[in-house]
Amino acid sequence: MKSRLCILPALLASVVIPAYAQTTAASSTENALPEIKIMGAAEPAYSVKRSASATKTDTLLRDTPQAVTVITKDLIRDQAMQSIADAIRYVPGIVTAQGEGNRDTAVFRGNSSTGDFYVDGIRDDVQYYRDFYNIDSVEALKGSNAMIFGRGGSGGVINRVTKQAEWRNIREASLSLGSWNNRRLTVDVGQALNDTAALRVNGMIENSDSYRQGYNLKRSGINPTLSLRAGANTSVVLGYEHFKDERTTDRGIPSFQGKPIATDASTFFGNPEVSQTWSKVDAFSALIEHDFGNGWTIRNRSRYASYDKFYQNVFSGAVNAAGTMVALQAYNNATQRDNFFNQTDLMTTLDLGATRHKLVAGAEVGRQETDNYRNTGYFLSVGPAATSILVPVSNPQSTAAVTFKQSATDANNHGVVTIKSVYLQDQIEFSPQWQAIVGVRRDSFAVDFTNNRTLANIQVTDTPVSPRAGLVFKPITAVSLYASYSLAYAPRAGDQLASLTASNKAFDPEKFKNLELGAKWDVLPDLAASVALYQLDRSNVAITDPLDVTKTILVDGQRSKGLELGLSGNITPAWSIMGGYAYQDAKITQTQSASVKAGATLAQVPRHSASLWNRYNFTPAWGVGVGVVYRSEIFPSTDNTVVLPGFTRVDAALYYMVNKNLNLQVNVENVFDKSYYASANSNNNITPGAPIGLRVGLNAKF
């Protein structure tokens, strides 16, 4: 593999990143509202009025024809969120999956993905656990998003907006201590160096255990950013992040007779000493934005990221018919990937007759170089070719020696992907009541894939065209009604680019069509409500021809239909709220195998899910938080033979401001110690929910 730093000189020389407009951009003059002030702590801000992520332009969320949920920095702080899974609980239409205990996995409107994650609008697609220590907000965009984000984005994307250097002093630190030896420290330091330069550094270190036997988590990160005023009309931001995450690979418990096996929530199936995963990320970013005047602006953003990921696991398979013995299996997998992406956007606003046009013309180029290597675990004490071992369900931890080596089918691949994309978008304002957005993107996605075991090489190029159209009607200023249509495509190599075979290389990419109707209403100046009805169809799914097993054909694969409701903001200056509800009907539409049959419900998709978080400040010093999370039953697999029961979980928090520079918060998760199952990866990889847990946080400003 080429040197991981070979592309850095070109990246740093170009220093071309644009400022990706922040989610928290100020409201326009038309929508300016009187500022409400209270003494003491400011009220939490759980709602956001504007974002650039869905359109690449600073646009009111109310006028964006798409379901978007924003998790703000105040909500992240109040709930002590640290991960993607924490945030997803409050996003209607998205469910977290287990991810085999080594990665973030989100199920967007029935479509599972480990690659549709972005940071400041740039793809961040390696399978690892992301942290929020340097994150200002998290945006979840539902529906097909290829016009803005390129390949994938089939059912939605999650974009993290990072903290950046500002021309103000920041001196903050947070210490968190809690159940199961939770120990975490974060710092945020920033200041102006002079009139033209500002520096900010975010850092984090954590060493925590878990309610799960033998589990440990160690992670650390540092993220300095430098902002520059390079002239009156030009701004530059440079950033670097070094992040490391080490933890036990925990794939939960198996099932028995159609439900999770009866065992304590702490029981570990496998060998936690041998089951370890780690990821290392080094990412460099550079952005520049220049205002030419007369309404013309150019932005360019570059990101180079080097990922080193490894995981190894000894995990549960099937339980025997008597329910007394369980099979354990093992394997490990290593991934190295270098990503380089560069985006350039040219924007202008033009008045043509009675219409106003906000135009974006853009291009994106990228290169991803990936090495995958997998070993199967052999239990030589059972036999020279034994890939599993039976252990008692009553004592499912095993210390049996495991030898890791390649089987005849294990991956040893090298792949290079080259991306070239162009796109054009027009946001049209016909009148104060009528608006539209139309856009189209053409991608060239070239894969050069080599099987190092056989030296077989496959080269394939996909050139999908992804349109988008939306219409917005505003009967009154505070209400928007919209309809939208969009397409997205996923290449044959999958979102991790890990596999490609001669039998599927000739097929078109999988296709995702999203139709959506919705309404958004600013109920109060700081309280926003939304509703969305959608239908998402997945087609071009490759299956074995039932009439000729030697052939593969393409079929329509699945359909998701649903309703999403959202509510966020302040009911009063003292009462902040964040809530959502989703109804999802997600089905397989055509039989794809003996276990994936037409009419089956998609895995990890609850029919009903809801969440509601409240924070109320009784005085400027004292506040409380109460949250409820509900999820109806789900199937871990599309064979629908195992059911995870539904649950309701209650969380709470207490906030006390000691003085203007010091506050204390206590978060209690699962207040009533409810037994439930949080997520799954398959019928025999099910994660029990955590029992009641306490976390105490001390937040200081200097």
Q: Render pLDDT for 352-395 as a digit per residue (tens, 0 to 9).
A: 999 999 999 999 999 999 999 999 999 999 999 999 999 999 99
Measured over the CA atoms of residue 491, residue 497, residue 499 and residue 500, the dihedral's sign is positive
**Within a domain: 258:** yes
User: Is the four-CA dihedral 43, 47, 51, 53 of positive or negative sign?
Assistant: positive
Is the predicted pLDDT of residue 194 greater than 90, yes or no? Answer: yes
- The reported pLDDT for the residue numbered 549 is 55
Q: Are 61 and 48 in contact (CB under 8 A)?
A: yes
According to the model, what pLDDT value does residue 545 have? 61
Check residue 126 and report its DSSP letter: S
Tell me the C-alpha distance between 371 and 375, whole Å. Answer: 14
What's the pLDDT tens digit per position in 652-667? 999 999 999 999 999 9
Task: Provide the token pair at 177.
Answer: 């201590």
> Given a cut of 60, is residue 48 above it in pLDDT?
yes
Residue 280 pLDDT: 98
pLDDT of residue 492: 74
Given a contact cutoff of 8 angstroms between Cβ atoms, the answer to whether 102 and 127 are in contact is yes
User: Do 507 and 551 touch, CB atoms closer than 8 A?
Assistant: no
* Beta-strand relationship, 117-119 and 156-162: parallel
Residue type, 384: P
Residue 252 confidence (pLDDT): 97
| pLDDT of 73 strictly over 50 | yes
Q: Is residue 647 part of a domain?
A: yes
- Count CB atoms within 10 A of the CB of residue 26: 11
Give first-to-last CA distance, the chain, whole Å: 46
Whole-number Å distance between alpha carbons of 392 and 322: 11
**Contact between residue 371 and residue 414 where contact means Cβ atoms under 8 Å apart:** yes
Inside any domain, residue 3? no
Is 204 within 8 Å of 131 (Cβ atoms)? yes
Asked whether the beta carbons of 258 and 323 are under 8 A apart, the reply is no
Q: DSSP character for 29?
A: G
| Across 430-444, average pLDDT | 96
Query: Is 567 within 8 Å of 581 (Cβ atoms)?
Result: no
Which residues are registered as beta bridge partners of 428? 357, 436
Task: State the burial class of residue 471 (Cβ atoms within 10 Å of its Cβ: 0-12, 13-18, 19+).
Answer: middle
Mean pLDDT score, 31-56: 65
Average pLDDT over residues 61-76: 95
Cα angle 57, 58, 61; round to 5: 110
Bridge partner list, 694: 668
Per DSSP (E only), the strands in 294-354 are 296-319, 325-352
d(CA 556, CA 79): 41
Q: What is the pTM of this model?
A: 0.91
Give the residue-averaged pLDDT of 83-108. 94
Residue 688 inside a domain? The answer is yes
- Give the model's pLDDT for residue 541: 77
689 contacts 670 by C-beta, under 8 angstroms: yes
For residue 339, is pLDDT > 50? yes
Dig out the tokens for 592 from the structure.
């794809």
Q: Which of 615, 609, 559, 606 is nearest to 587 (CA)?
A: 559
Q: Is the dihedral of CA 392, 636, 626, 160 positive or negative?
A: positive
In a domain, 1, yes or no: no
Q: Which residues of 252-268 are buried (b: 16+ CB within 10 A; e: fewer)?
A: bbbbbeeebbebebebb
Q: Which helix (H) or strand (E) holds 372?
A: strand 355-378
DSSP 8-class letter at 6: T
- Please report the pLDDT score of residue 26 as a whole number: 36
**Dihedral of the CA atoms 230, 234, 235, 240 (nearest 10)?**
-70
CB distance 58 to 52 below 8 Å: yes
Round to whole Å and give the CA distance between 339 and 11: 12
Q: How much is the pLDDT for 499?
A: 72
pLDDT digits (tens, 9 = 90+) for 456-511: 999 999 999 999 999 999 999 999 999 999 999 988 776 777 777 776 676 788 89
- Please name the residue that has the structure tokens 């929530």: 265
**505 backbone φψ class: left, alpha, beta (φ>0; ψ -120 to 50):** alpha
Query: Which band of pLDDT confidence, cut at 50, 70 and 90, is reported for residue 17?
Result: very low
Nearest to 198 by CA among 222, 163, 228: 228
For residue 181, pLDDT over 70 is answered with: yes
- Buried residues in 535-549 as b, exposed as e (16+ CB within 10 A): ebbbbbbbeeeeeee
Sequence-ordered list of residues with C-beta below 8 angstroms from that of 249, at least 6 positions apart, any chain: 100, 101, 102, 275, 276, 277, 311, 312, 313, 315
- Greater confidence (249 vs 29) lies with 249
Q: Per-residue confidence at 25, pLDDT binned at 50, 70, 90?
A: very low
Residue 533 CA to residue 536 CA, distance in Å, equals: 10
SS3 468: strand
**Residue 45 placed within a domain:** yes
The reported pLDDT for the residue numbered 494 is 65
**Block residue for tokens 């936690």:** 272
Contact 309, 332 (CB under 8 A): no
Average pLDDT over residues 155-173: 95
State the pLDDT at residue 12. Answer: 33
pLDDT of residue 553: 61
User: Is 347 in contact with 359 (CB distance < 8 Å)?
Assistant: yes
Average pLDDT over residues 312-327: 96
Looking at per-residue confidence, does 553 or 590 come out higher?
A: 590
Q: What is the pLDDT of residue 21?
A: 36
What is the per-residue pLDDT for 30?
39
Residue 38 pLDDT exceeds 60: no
Instruction: Please give the pLDDT value at position 165.
Output: 97
What one-character DSSP code corresponds to residue 644?
Answer: B
CATH code for the domain of 198: 2.40.170.20
- Average confidence (pLDDT) over 669-689: 96
Query: What does the pLDDT read at residue 42?
Result: 58
% pLDDT > 90, the chain: 83
What pLDDT score does 510 carry?
87
Is the residue at 2 inside a domain?
no
Q: Which domain holds residue 263?
A: 8-701
Residue 204 CA, chain-centre distance (Å), reads 20
For residue 607, tell me if it sits in a domain. yes
As a whole number, mean pLDDT of residues 50-63 equals 93
Comparing 492-496, 524-528, 635-639, 689-693, the range with the smallest average pLDDT is 492-496
Which DSSP string do the residues of 222-278 spell out, in sequence order?
EEEEEEEE-STTEEEEEEEEEEEEEEE----B-EETTEE-S--TT---B-TTT-EEE
CB 120 within 8 A of CB 285: yes
Please say if the pLDDT value at position 236 is more than 50.
Answer: yes
Mean pLDDT of all residues belonging to the chain: 90
Q: Looking at residues 613-626, what average pLDDT do you find?
A: 97
Residue 497, pLDDT score: 73
In 3D, which of 430, 434, 379, 425 has the Cα closest to residue 401? 379
Taking the C-alpha atoms of residue 129 and residue 114, their distance in angstroms, rounded to an integer, is 10
